[in-house]
Amino acid sequence: MRTCEERMRDVLERRDAYRKKQQRRQSAVAFGALCGALVLSIGLGMLPRFGKPAVESYDAVFEAVKAQEIYFTTTDDGEIYYEYAEDTSTGTANQNTGKPGATRPTAATQATTLKGTSSSDEHSDTNLQVVGVDEADIVKTDGRYLYVLSGERVVIVDPNDGAPQKLAEFTLPHGEASGYGASGMYLVGDRLVVMQNRYIQQRTVTATLVYDIADPEKPSLVTSFEQDGREISSRVIGDILYTVSQYTVRTAPTRDDPATFVPSIGCDEESAVLAANDIYICEESAQYVVVTAVRVSDKGERLSQKAVLTAGNTVYANTENLYVAGGFYNGKTKLVRFALNGGNIEQQAQAEINGTLLNQFALDEYDGHLRVVVTEYGTGGTTNALLVLDKDLNTVGAIKGLAEDERVYSVRFDGAVGYFVTFRQVDPLFTVDLSDPTKPMIQSELKIPGFSQYLHPYGDGLLLGIGMDADENGRTTFMKLSMFNVSDPTAVTESDVTVLDQNYSEVLSNHKAVLIDVQKNLIGFATGDSTYHIYGYDAENGFTLKARLAALDAHGTRGMYIGEYLYVVSANGVLSYRLSDFSSVGVLSIVQQVQKPTGTARTSAAVF
C-alpha cells in the first residue's frame, strides 16, 4: 500500500506539470475563448446531463468559477455572506444576497429504518435512514463501551452493568485552527472515526480523525484526512467513509494558480488541489460539492475523490449511490448522483427540478428509481409534488398540485409505498402507491389536527408519528404521538394519539435523537425539561408512558440500551436505569469542570 506521502507527491507532481504547461501556452486568448464556448454550451444544456465527463484541464474550471465571481463579507460571528459581482451586461449590481448554499428553515427530520434502532438483542444502535448505511452521531456503542463527544473531548465509558465508569478520554487536535468542533463519530471495527470541522483564517476544512481503540483504555490517533469545505454530511458503508463538503471560492481566482479556485484534499496535514479529471461542471458557480471516499480500517487509505461545481446541502445515500441536492434558495433543486462502486466514486447524472426539499428523507431510491417529495413556491402560493426519476435523473412519473398553500413537514418511504405530511391548519397524511414508477397514485389522504414531524414504521401495518398538536386555527400547542394503521393503504386511520405536556424535543429536528425498538416496545426521547420519556404501544391499550426519567440535558441526549440497562447519555454525563422497571442505578459526570449546582439536581427516576 502506498504511503500518504507518496500519494500526495503524485498529486503535487501533476499540479507542477500543469503549471509548466500553462507557461508554454502560445495563445492564452484563443484558448480562453475556446473554454468560454465550452462553458456556454454547458450552460445552454447542449451537452447531455447523464455521464457528463470530467474536465480535461483547469481552464474550463477557471472560466466557470470566474463567471460567477462573488465578493464575501465575514461577520463577527463567522458567518459568510455574499453578493454577486456587478452584472456587466446591464451595468447594475445584483442585489440578491444570502448565505452560500442556504436552504429555507425546515421543521422536521424523520428516519426510515424499517425495524427500529436495534441491531441485536444486546444493544441499540443509532437510528438510521437506510439499513446498512451508518450515520455519524454524538454517542456510539459497540455493546461493550459507550463513546461520547463532550465538547472538545471524546470520553470512553465502561457501562459496567449499570454502574458507568470513565475508562479513557482524549482531546481532539486542531493544529492552527482558530475554531473547531466535532460533528459526530463512527465505530468501524477497532477504529473510532471522528468528524471534525476546522476554521483556519476564513478557510473551512472538514477533517476525519481515525483512532485505534483496540485497547479502549489507550486510544491513539492513526491518521487523519482533510478536505476543503464545510461538512454537509457523511456515511459509512462497511469500512469505507464517504464525506461530502461544500467548498466556496473566497478569493479572486488566478488562472495560473489552481489553488486559488480548486479545493484541496489532504492526509496527515499534507494537501494538494484536486486533479482536473476529478472535477465536473454542473453550473457556473463559485461553490463546489466535494465527495471523498477513504478506507478507515488498518492504517487508512484514500480511495477516490470528486468535486462538482454546484451548491449542495442535503445528502441521501444507500449502498450503491449517493445523491447530493442543493440550490434551494432559488426555488429549484439541483440533484447530482454519484455511483459509489465500493469506494471508486463516479459522478453519473445531474439534473434540476422545480421545488425545494424538506431534508434527506424527501429522497429515496427503490428499484433503480429516485423518489423525491418537494414543496413548490409560486406567485399564487405553495403546492407540493412527488416526482419519480430514473437513473439519468429524468422525470418518469409525477403527482403535482397537492395541498395548496401548505408545505411538507415529514416524508417517509417504505418500499413501494410513500408517506408524507403537509400542514397549514390540519395534518393531511398522504399515502402513495409507487409500485408503477411511471404512474404514482394517491391512495388515501387522512386529515387530523396538528402534524407529524417524524415518521417511523412500528411493526407490520403501523406507522408512528411524532409531531405537534394544533388547535382549530392551526396554532401549535404541545407535542403528540400518533399511531397510524396503514395495513390498508386505501383507508389509513389514526389508531391512537397521546398529547404530551411538552412543546420541544430534539427528535422533531433530528432522527438520531430517538430510540425506537419495536421488539422491546420502546419509544424514547428527551424533552425540553431535561427528562427522558419512554413510551410503549399495543393495540389494546394504545400508547403507554412507561417512565419519565431524569436526563442531564434537553438537547444532545441519546438513549441507548446495553444488555439489561438503559443509558441516558449527553455531553455532561451518563445516567443508567434498569430496563425491567426503569429504576435508577448509576450516574457518571463527564463534564470537564464540575461546578456547584445552583438548584436541586434530579437523579432519580419517576416511573409510571
* Percent over 90 (pLDDT), the chain: 71
Yes or no: say if 128 and 140 are a contact pair by the CB < 8 Å rule. Answer: no
Q: Is the pLDDT of residue 360 over 70?
A: yes
pLDDT digits (tens, 9 = 90+) for 46-102: 333 344 678 889 999 999 999 876 544 444 444 444 443 333 233 333 333 333 232
CA atoms within 13 A on the CB side of 425: 4
For residue 189, how far is the Cα from the chain centroid? 23
HEC readout, 13-79: HHHHHHHHHHHCCCCHHHHHHHHHHHHHHHHCCCCCCCCCCCCCCHHHHHHHHHCCCEEEEECCCCC
Closest C-alpha among 408, 372, 361 to residue 511: 361
Cβ neighbours of residue 299 closer than 8 Å, sequence gap 6 or more: 1, 222, 223
State mean pLDDT over 254-258: 95
Cα 460–461–464 angle (5° rounding)?
Answer: 95
Neighbour order of strands in the sheet with 314-317? 314-317, 321-326, 332-339, 346-354
Report pLDDT for 213: 98
What's the rounded Cα separation, in Å, for the pair 184 and 345?
23
Greater confidence (479 vs 25) lies with 479
Cβ-contact 225, 175 below 8 angstroms:
no
**Cα-atom radius of gyration of the chain, to the nearest Å?**
25
Q: Tell me the per-residue pLDDT of 425-471, one tens digit each, with 9 for 90 and over.
A: 666 899 999 999 999 999 999 998 989 999 999 989 999 999 999 98
**Looking at residues 537-564, what average pLDDT do you find?**
97
For residue range 284-340, what is the model confidence (pLDDT) as tens digits? 999 999 999 999 999 999 999 999 999 999 999 999 999 999 976 789 999 999 999
Strand order in the sheet with 565-570: 558-562, 565-570, 573-578, 584-589
Domains of the chain: 1-96+134-314 (no CATH), 111-129+318-502 (2.130.10.10), 521-608 (2.40.10)
Distances (CA, A) of 216 to 138, 154, 257, 546, 574: 17, 12, 45, 34, 18
Q: How far is CA 412 from CA 116, 371, 418, 509, in A?
A: 14, 10, 6, 14
State yes or no: pLDDT of 410 exceeds 90. Answer: yes
* Separation between Cα atoms, residue 571 and residue 320, nearest integer Å: 34
C-alpha cell recorded at residue 448? 387530523
The mean per-residue pLDDT over the stretch 167-174 comes to 94
The pLDDT score that the predictor gives to residue 68 is 76
Percent of the chain with pLDDT over 70: 79
The neighbouring-strand residues paired with 486 are none
- How much is the pTM? 0.84
Q: Which one has a higher pLDDT value, 574 or 602? A: 574
Which pLDDT score, from 0 to 100, does residue 94 have?
A: 31
Question: Mean pLDDT of all residues in the chain?
Answer: 84
